[in-house]
Structure 1
Amino acid sequence: MDSQQSLDENRYTYANRNLWSGILFGLGLIAFFDEVVFHQLLAWHHFYDRSTTQIGLFSDGLFHAFSWFATIGGLFMFADLKRRQAVWMKRWFGGVLLGAGVFQLYDGLIQHKVMRIHQIRYVENVFIYDVIWNVSAVLIILIGVILILKTRQRDEKKVIAYE
């Protein structure tokens, strides 16, 4: 078995771990981005806006801790994949986009509209913000799914050559 064949076999053996590492990292990354940009820099909202500013800031701290745990967890899994020579960047990056997009869509639909714990921005016509937020989430998900699907099936020529 040559080294390329061994590398490909490692990728297929750890395909799910590549995907979940990417999903966790993407979820943490987009949560971190949301918290820094929309909560801190723009000050559009807090994670929980149905109470005092102090509670809102406390909820932001918990949200920030969650985002770091997810990001670090995904990176620990990635480091393990690297050690095993099983990193599959296309699949991992597809997972990153899927995790980021799913989190953003969950935030936009469930947290903003169903639970109403905060809105993306408190303005008279929030509809345009909601549309941009949720449509961009769907696009990120679609790109992630396309990348993942491209890695789902083994290349038939390689499988025949290996067997």
Structure 2
Amino acid sequence: MSAPSVNRSPVPFSPSFRWAGYLLGFSFGGFFDGILLHQILQWHHLLSGLDSPALADIQVQILADGLFHLAMYAVAGAGLWLLWRTRREFGGDGADRLLFGTFLVGFGVWHVVDAVLNHWILGLHHIRMDSDSPLIWDMVFFVFGIAVIAAGWVTLRRGPNGGGGGSRGTLAASVLTLAVVIAGQVALLPPAGVSTVTALFPPGTAPGAVLAAAATVDGRVIAGADGVWIIDVPDRFRALELYREGAVHVGGSLFPIGCFSAGLS
């Protein structure tokens, strides 16, 4: 007489169980960045992009990295606490796949948040501070994050509680993500026949420093105010070299010119 089979619970998992995976993945993404890029490869520290004599001290940079790791420990602790609270759900059918998928999503989200917030909005650092083209390295890790999120999404969709939507929803989201990534890269350069770029420099950057930065790319400053400068760069592909000279963001938009013109008239 054969032993009866044991059916594992098909009950949908709680949001806490899912968030355990998201938080653990997010924290491990931070640990991956800090351990590999800050310590082993030493490509950057958390505050490497800030131009301040007080922050140039390596002890201050290491302290900032340590506080960053402490924050990641807090996120990981929250994830482990949620996982412990929902430990009974781990016996459910597909729990391992769900936890792995949410972990991948959280891991990828860290890289996207790091690129958008720390690299481009706040300008705290770039992936390779010693690179002649730091934007390329930033984009590599941004796309890496998108790819890991996609892998996590596919893992979740194939699970027993992945939800509806089918392959059409996944395909549409993938196409939209790819379009956003490509459009973001194209927007970084002015259109063909236009040599004017908008460059954002950190607050407090002296006009002389901006003039010197423009000179390194054979460009000239047209106008500027509050850290936003309009620079004419004859060779539009050299505009990205402004990142090396301290620019936080370089774009091809021409809209600010009208604002400056109105302000200067």
Q: TM-score, normalised by structure 2?
A: 0.52
1:80 is aligned to: 85
**RMSD (CA atoms):** 2.0
State the Cα deviation string for residues 117-161 of structure 1 (Å, max 9, x = none): 11111111223312211111110111112222333339xxxxxxx
Structure-to-structure mapping, 1:13-162, within 5 angstroms:
13-14=13-14, 16-49=15-48, 50=50, 51-52=55-56, 53-86=58-91, 88-122=95-129, 123-150=131-158, 151-153=161-163
Higher relative contact order, structure no. (Cα contacts within 8 Å, ≥ 6 residues apart): 1
State the Cα deviation string for residues 85-122 of structure 1 (Å, max 9, x = none): 45612111111111111110111122111210111111
State the Cα deviation string for residues 30-75 of structure 1 (Å, max 9, x = none): 1011111111111111111222223221110111011112122212
Following the alignment from structure 1 to structure 2, what is the Cα–Cα distance between the partners of residues 120 and 17?
Answer: 33
Following the alignment from structure 1 to structure 2, what is the Cα–Cα distance between the partners of residues 92 and 18?
Answer: 8
Following the alignment from structure 1 to structure 2, what is the Cα–Cα distance between the partners of residues 95 and 22?
Answer: 5
Following the alignment from structure 1 to structure 2, what is the Cα–Cα distance between the partners of residues 76 and 129?
Answer: 35
2:7 is aligned to: 4
Following the alignment from structure 2 to structure 1, what is the Cα–Cα distance between the partners of residues 86 and 108?
Answer: 23
Deviation (angstroms), 1:84: 4.8
Runs (5+) with no aligned partner, structure 1: 155-163
Greater mean deviation of Cα atoms: 35-44 or 120-129? 120-129
Relative to 1, partners in 2 of residues 1:84 and 1:142: Cα closer, same or farther, differing over 3 Å?
closer
Q: TM-score, normalised by structure 1?
A: 0.81
* Equivalent position amino acid for 2:99 in 1: W
For 1:8, what is the secondary structure of its paired residue?
Answer: coil
Greater mean deviation of Cα atoms: 80-89 or 94-103? 80-89
Determine which structure has the larger helix proportion and give its number: 1
1:161 is aligned to: none
Determine which structure has the larger strand proportion and give its number: 2
Greater mean deviation of Cα atoms: 21-30 or 117-126? 117-126
For 2:7, what is the secondary structure of its paired residue?
Answer: helix
Following the alignment from structure 2 to structure 1, what is the Cα–Cα distance between the partners of residues 6 and 83?
Answer: 21
Identity of aligned residues (%): 26
